[in-house]
A and B are shown apart, each in its own frame.
Chain A
Amino acid sequence: MTETIIFIIVSVFTLATGWIVVTNRNLFHAALALMASFLGVAGLYVLLDAGFLAAAQLLVYIGAISILIIFAIMLTRRMMQTNESAFNAQPGLSAITAVSVFAIIAYILWRMRQFWPIEPAAGVPLASRTVVPDSLLMDSVAALGRSFVSPDAFVLPFEVASILLLAALIGSIWVAWPKAEDK
């Protein structure tokens, strides 16, 4: 019961701040709301017993990506002081698209409603959270780490991800570096 209440609070918070992100005209406030939304997602991870990912969410999304975004907002500040609309010429069309995407997903989820029961029922595979011992969840971080360096699991994607990060690092420095002819 407590868990359900916390879940509802956290998800309403996430969605509400997400809504502020896409509608607020003040970009700085939008970025703050984005951070709050990331925080809400971290809360959902905690509810899903993924503490490691929640901390990673704080470290990467709030501690790095949001700060990058705020830096970009401040560096391109002159543009935001013009009192123009937050939206381009087609907010209505975009809203229809977004709502219909949500409607499609919701319809699919609704079609699978026999898999919803809260208590595990016989013969229903998706019924409820698989009950596992706490020790397994405690070890899930170690298992995650092992899977990253195990040749049977994700060692190749892991290395590729590190190369991707390096490429992004060099590439973004190169792109954002003031060129000589600009001066």
Chain B
Amino acid sequence: MNTKQLLASAVLSITLAASAQAQSLTVYSAGPESLINHLAQDFTAQSGIAVNVFQGTTGQVMARLEAEQANPIADILISASWDSAIALKARGDLLEHVSPNAVQVPEYLKDTHYVAQGVSALAMVWNKNSQVDMPKDWSDLAQPAYNNEVTMPDPAQSGAAFQLLTGLLASQGEDATWSLMQQLKDNNMIVPGPNARALNPVLQGAKSVVFGAVDYISLGQQADGEAIEVVFPESGTVIAPRPMMIFKSTKSPDQAKAFIDFVLSDAGQERVAQSYLMPARTDIPALRPTLTELNLIQYDEAQYETRREDILQSFRAIFGQSN
């Protein structure tokens, strides 16, 4: 057997192994990783359908989808950004599916083509061992006491952080929001990347507060023993529902629908609750403050999606690359 044959057989065996899984489902999911892994395992145990998961930030997941446009791989997308579902539906990429299990999901968390898996809210995360007091509202973080102590996730990389920005633009006004951002910049707030990049420095204490952290990661870490507190600001915050959707390009529509139904089942929604998200179904108890207990900013989100590039541009102009 010469080397050519060796190589050919090596490549062949790998591709054969891959095509053997062709009947499985491929799910692209924006965090939390343990949740999607559990959901995939439970679903496989129940239905016998294997599930391949690609897990990343919303930015990474959307990027991969776009790179694969000519040759789509994913059957299902679970995004952390509601806007992405609206945009994909408008483009005609989604398959219609109204799950029978979605009856208990509130109207504003579902559509004919997508439905929420769970809901997170945006909060401030404060390190209890830090030298600064626990902040009460967003604007506190522009105070001199918090100089050099604040981080914020990048709205360009975190769908939730973008949502917070639009919520503030709506509730506090455009000028007030950008001037708050400028004050935060002057107060040396850093914008190191997606959610966990902003959170990690606060865990060790390099910084003391996150401005606009996705709450479930921190609630989980708090339960895990980290000395942090999740603070929901007095003036209100925004929620980030996490839409699930099926692509029209899927080769296994029935299995994909079964997966969505499973996530909305009692067992699936209990898994969602265990990762400190609010379950999409109101009849499943949560391990954390829910929609009724939070002071939410009510506004028309859709008008901000068309301004996405402008808003990110303005944000970059303030926090843009120095040196």
Q: Do these two chains really belong together in a complex? A: no
- Which residues of B are in contact with A by a Cβ distance under 8 Å? none
